[in-house]
Amino acid sequence: MNVLMVGPARSVKGGMTSVVDSYYDYGLDKKINLKYLESSNDKNKILKAIKEITGFCKFKLLVKKYDIIHIHMASRRSTYRKCKYIKEAKKAKKKVIVHVHGAEFKVFYDKECNESQKRYIKECLNMCDKIIVLSEEWEEYFQNIVPRDKIEVIYNAINIPKDFEKNIETKQILFLGRLGERKGIYDLIDVVEQLISQYKDIKLIACGDGEYEKVKKIVEDRKLKSNIEIYNWISGKEKEEKLKNSSFYVLPSYNEGMPMSLIEGMAYKNIPISTKVGGIPRVIENGINGFIIEPGDKKKLKEILENILDDKEKEKRKQISDNARKTVEEKFGALYKAFKYGTPPHAGAAPGLDRMVMLIANTQNIREVIAFPKNKKARDAMMNAPSRVEDKQLKDVHIKIDEFVEK
């Protein structure tokens, strides 16, 4: 199978390139003939324009050599750029998968596009064979643009670390993401500033690109450097160290898809506090494995942190921390098992490749393409599937079970 994947330069910092990097981390390029074509970069305007032109020219030369075109798309300029790729790929009669990232597509499409622009984007997306979205909420939204049978929900894949003993007694809060209003970093700084008088040892570690200089200046001007540390984008060992040494992961975003950083924070047993946007409510159960607030509700964020930072709540912190980790293990169990026993020899089940191949190949059964063998009872021993369905999932699809028999 020959796959041509299109997306931003892998040097660009962000969730989209993190997903692409995960494919290579899992050795996907060793399992199939995969070529990654960079369609854009984050340089100055001239270099951006050159990259976009040369990227599309290369695509026109390469497209006929590949069976499947997998396009990573965000909003605004990315959408218009990728629409050209979609049209060119379909002109070459290729199967096209568009993988939608980013949290601002809804704002862009609903509020910033006129009717003519909406028609153009809708026309292009309907030309695709499959649209991949990051959560059930985005699945529901995209049904207004493309038919339901074109949409597939595939959560972002992450590396789940081996289990470890977590020190949940620290008052260190971690924020990973683009520094700016959309991710709520200014709200978080305001709240931490209010808490310093009560908790002298409280510490906020914020890491990301975006409005780095502006955020850093705010911290300096307010004389908060002893309690708030601002770093640029981090990765690798440095990121792992901060995830391990923190106790809380706070992401007070105003809109999201399914943020990888939140899942990573929970995998490292950080107590998550985030907002009721995108796919986040699918992951965090309020008061059980973390906390959910409305976007912009600084009062509630402060209240939650005050309650959970109280030394009398150590046992509760431990329980929520363990539940956060357990949630990731259960919802992303394939990856957890894979890394627990060593990376299995497969073609990337974590990114959902098996299902994509089944759909593109138009086969009737995923077992025809899946790499994990099943036992005689049709169970996957590694993933423990099929398994019990959560009540919340059943409620979403209006199914009621009167009796459950464990065999």
Give the pLDDT band of residue 404 (cuts 50, 70, 90): low
Q: Give the tens place of pLDDT for each residue, 66-109.
A: 999 999 999 999 999 999 999 999 999 999 999 999 788 999 99
Homologous superfamily in CATH for domain 2-153: Glycogen Phosphorylase B; (3.40.50.2000)
Q: Mean pLDDT in the chain?
A: 88
Query: What's the topology of domain 172-331?
Result: Rossmann fold (3.40.50)
Give the pair of three-digit tokens for residue 84: 């050209």
Q: Where are the domains of the chain?
A: 2-153, 172-331, 333-396
Give me the pLDDT at residue 342, please: 47
8 A C-beta contact, residue 265 and residue 174: yes
Task: Work out the average pLDDT over 42-52.
Answer: 92
CB 246 within 8 A of CB 270: yes
Q: Say what the pLDDT of residue 382 is.
A: 59
SS3 37: strand
Q: What confidence category does residue 343 fall into, taking pLDDT thresholds of 50, 70 and 90?
A: very low
H or E stretch at 220: helix 212-221
Question: Do 2-153 and 172-331 have matching folds?
Answer: yes
| Tokens 């984050």, residue located | 42
Cis-peptide into 386, omega within 30 deg = yes
Q: Which of 89-103, 132-146, 290-304, 334-348 has the lowest mean pLDDT?
A: 334-348
- CA–CA separation, 150 and 138 (whole Å): 13
In the sheet where 151-153 sits, what is the strand order?
33-40, 2-8, 68-73, 95-100, 130-133, 151-153
pLDDT at 344 over 50: no
Write out the two tokens for 357.
Answer: 């191949």
Rounded to whole angstroms, the Cα distance separating 288 from 292 reads 10
